[in-house]
Structure 1
């Protein structure tokens, strides 16, 4: 989910970099002025795998992301989605695949005490809210999931954070925001979630997991229904506004 905000006193919307923009920057950092030349030869994950091999590490790309997401508290307060997420007072656990610290900062700006969980040693504590960085973050660069090899390792789902995720899914209702079947690891996670839920007593309705989908078609309804995940539909081209409305309705 790309960070979005408006500058105070202005109506123009500013956005953080998308995954595609990050991959394009990786191409430029390697000297390819036209990223499509590499996309013709491989997937985005393979391009990032190539980047890691050529550069020796992902520090140049991480530094670029840090600069792009260096926003102040006022900008975070102007983010409608982050403000709405922070207002979900009954939500105690947030999982994110984003690397930045904007979600936890938005929660703290809303007056909520937060513990960031990126490693096994972070699990547990007295803070009432936790943000689980499922793909690592800037404070844990060695855990950041960038390349094809990183994703293959992530797909094993055999780390302490994976065990925590399974536990949380079994004990809570899950709401997915900003994900789709085009996310390779999320598709597998949905399958595993379905396997978990269908073996539980009284879980045949599948109302334990929901996903917000903009302008859903029969394609999404069929695939998510097969996995017992209920779609919360939004419609129109203003995805941010409709998502915020859904989050506000949950609070109400």
Structure 2
């Protein structure tokens, strides 16, 4: 997405842009130059449009996620609709939450929370640096929902790491909330799946009350799917 933003801006030296600024700053520059993000988000939406339901369920991770019948709450920072499509194709009643006005009051449905918005609600999408900075105030309805949803539950992170500055604040929220809550029988309330984690990563996550679940770096999707499979059996 960042590479395409650079091309739309008209910059032929994408590496130079990356040397001068972060990904979020490049997207912020795109928004300034175009006064909106629509040309970029519309392009991104088209990249996902050709995926069929069968394609999505062919993903080992998605096929296992929908089988977690005791899980009724999925959070994602992605903008695509793959999780909800997989759930609906599997016969589960999925409800999309992308803002306060879409929060479900029917506890029989499965909530898919689009924490950074989605293509159907572009005004709620968090893409550029200023939008992330605004979210990091931790005062939006979605942040309050996250805090409430964490209570009484265990949290599993898939696909994140400390290299993702855009979601680091979520780890901060989890740590701050769980530090004042009774521990689960295992001693942890939050877990993260990491491929071949280093001692550096283990220590940092453990200090934030997040237990690391290690998997092999080869065939990561298959290995993560096996973790999900073991969870439900």
Fold shared, TM-score > 0.5 on shorter chain: yes
TM-score by length of 2: 0.94
**Aligned residue among 90, 94, 97 for 1:117:** 97
Structure 2 unmatched runs, 5+: none
Number of the residue aligned with 2:137: 156
| Aligned counterparts of 2:62 and 2:135: Cα–Cα separation in 1 | 26
Relative distance call for 1:206 and 1:189 in structure 2 (3 A) is farther
Q: CA deviation at 1:206?
A: 4.6
1:29 matched to 2:5? The reply is no
Q: CA deviation at 1:32?
A: 1.7
Conserved 8 A contact 1:115-1:125: no
| Aligned counterparts of 1:84 and 1:179: Cα–Cα separation in 2 | 18
Identify the range of structure 1 (187-196 vs 110-119) with the bigger mean alpha-carbon deviation.
Answer: 187-196
Number of the residue aligned with 1:189: 170
Q: CA deviation at 1:192?
A: 2.4
Partner secondary structure for residue 193 of structure 2: strand
Partner secondary structure for residue 184 of structure 1: coil
Partner secondary structure for residue 74 of structure 1: helix
1:233 matched to 2:233? The reply is no
**Aligned residue among 11, 14, 28 for 1:49:** 28
Conserved 8 A contact 2:104-2:111: no
Partner secondary structure for residue 211 of structure 1: strand
**Aligned residue among 44, 57, 61 for 2:40:** 61
Number of the residue aligned with 1:208: 189
Deviations along 1:91-137, whole A, 9 cap, x unmatched? Answer: 10000000011110000011100110011111123242000000000
Aligned length: 231
Q: CA deviation at 1:241?
A: 1.1
Conserved 8 A contact 1:172-1:208: yes
| Aligned counterparts of 2:184 and 2:222: Cα–Cα separation in 1 | 32
| Aligned counterparts of 1:113 and 1:46: Cα–Cα separation in 2 | 38
Q: CA deviation at 1:84?
A: 1.1
Q: CA deviation at 1:202?
A: 4.4
TM-score by length of 1: 0.88
Relative distance call for 1:204 and 1:222 in structure 2 (3 A) is farther
C-alpha RMSD over aligned residues: 1.5
| Aligned counterparts of 2:114 and 2:24: Cα–Cα separation in 1 | 19
Conserved 8 A contact 1:92-1:128: yes
| Aligned counterparts of 1:138 and 1:195: Cα–Cα separation in 2 | 31
Number of the residue aligned with 1:175: 156
Q: CA deviation at 1:184?
A: 1.5
| Aligned counterparts of 2:178 and 2:166: Cα–Cα separation in 1 | 18
Number of the residue aligned with 1:86: 66
Conserved 8 A contact 1:211-1:231: yes
Conserved 8 A contact 1:197-1:203: no
1:104 matched to 2:84? The reply is yes
Structure 1 unmatched runs, 5+: 1-21
Relative distance call for 1:218 and 1:29 in structure 2 (3 A) is same
